[in-house]
Every structure is written in C-alpha cells, then in structure tokens.
Amino acid sequence: MTKPIALQSEKLTKYFYDPVKMPVLRDITMEVHKGEFVSIVGKSGCGKSTLLYVLSTMDRDYEGTLTINGTKVTGLDVNELAKIRNSSIGFVFQFHYLLPDFSCLKNVMIPGLRLGKYSYKEVEDRAYQKLKMFGVEDQALKMASKLSGGQQQRVAIARALINDPAIIMGDEPTGNLDSKNTGIVFDLFQQLSREFGQTLITVTHDEDFARRSDRIIEMADGEIKDHGH
C-alpha cells in the first residue's frame, strides 16, 4: 500500500533578479511520502537550499504550487503560513541557533509555547520527553552555550520535534559536526522515520549521510535530475 503524500510540489519555479532575471529553480515537481527520509544533493549553487526554503513556506516568491499534508499552501498569507510552519514543520539547520543564555529545556519549549496549544506545564513535560529521547535530558537545565556541538544539535532536533510536526526539514543538519556526531544525528533521523513515521527532507553535502537515507533527489542547475527510488 502506498503511503500518503506528506509534501507535493508542481512546477515550482523561482527567479533571482539581481542583476538580471535568472531562474534559480525550474519546474520542480516532486512528492515525498509520509515517513520517508529524503536527502536532496547537488553541487553548491544548484538551488537545493533555495528549494528547501520554498518547500518550508518561508519563501513565498515562486511560481507553481506547493501542498503540505493535503493543504495547498501556495497563496496563503504570511500569518496562515506561520501557523502551518509552527504546527507542521520542524527545522534543523547547520548551526543549531539555540539561545545561548537560555537553558536547553527553555530552548526546546519556545516553539511549543508559541503554538499555544498546550499549557506551560504540558509544554515543559513534552520538552523533557524530547530531550530524553535524544539522551540529553541530564543537560536540560544547563545553559545551551555550555554544551558540546553534538549535544547542541541534539537539543536543536528536540526543539524541532516539540510540536510533533508532520515534516522535519534539515539544511545541512550535520554540516558542522564531526563524523561521530554526524553518525549520532543520522541514527536519530532514521529512528524518527522508521519508528515514529516522521517525514524528513534534508539538504546535505555529506555523501555518506545521503546514501544511508531512503531516497536521494539529485539537483543540478535548478532542476531535479534524478528523483531516486
């Protein structure tokens, strides 16, 4: 049985206008199924990070259509998109973007408090659960700045999961980590996909990371050259 579609794009095209009009994404039509772990690869400048920002709804300036979890998000206003992002999409970046003067627990709680769906205590409990899932619950009350790089990235993944989003998007999520921590992060992503049915879309330069994911989408010159299988 085919799994439901988590994200679908049709003929996504985007232009940069500096100094002249130039296509950076051309006719991107793709599907990602629920629970699938997909890596988008390609040389620097091929448009993969730009694509991720369009897929994440943070960039609204494109042609074509984007559907997330069965909802067409193209054309929605900024506030509606912010709600969808906060409830349906979790982000993990190359740099963890934790607030250094906040505890790890508070960092993980922030998107949960912003969502406004649960009480403060419930958000706190959920944040502890996510930290525990990644083996960093003993660091909960430490300032984020006191953790190692690998621990910080695990806290950042816990934060991305606090609202149980439909999709996790990663922009070079292991780009700043050594091979040991890269392995840990990959294993966490794989666990999220296989055990929790989480959909993951990552942009990566790391060939080993990409090869171990479920499917590799290969980009060149703003186009998808290979959808993978």
Q: What are phi and psi for residue 157, nearest 5 degrees?
A: -70, -40
For residue 130, what are the domain limits? 5-226
Q: What are phi and psi for residue 10, nearest 5 degrees?
A: -130, 120
- In 10 A of CB 112, how many CB atoms? 23
Q: Could you give the C-alpha distances from 176 to 29, 58, 142, 150, 195, in angstroms and in order?
A: 30, 23, 21, 9, 26
- Helix residue spans in the chain (DSSP H): 48-55, 78-88, 104-115, 120-133, 149-161, 179-196, 207-212
- CATH number of the domain at 215, please: 3.40.50.300
pTM for this entry: 0.88
Per-residue pLDDT of the chain (229 residues; tens, 9 = 90+): 567 889 999 999 999 887 888 888 999 999 999 999 999 998 888 888 899 989 999 888 899 999 998 889 998 999 888 888 888 888 887 676 788 888 999 999 988 888 888 899 999 999 998 898 878 888 888 888 888 878 888 898 888 888 888 899 998 888 777 888 888 888 888 888 888 888 999 999 888 889 989 999 999 988 889 887 6
Peptide bond into 111 cis (omega under 30): no
In sequence order, what are the residues at sequence separation of 6 or more whose Cβ sits closer than 8 angstroms to the Cβ of residue 39?
202, 203, 204, 209, 210, 213, 215, 216, 217
Chain centre to alpha carbon of residue 101: 24
Q: What are phi and psi for residue 49, nearest 5 degrees?
A: -70, -35
Domain count, the chain: 1
Quick check: 210 and 190 in contact, CB under 8 A? no
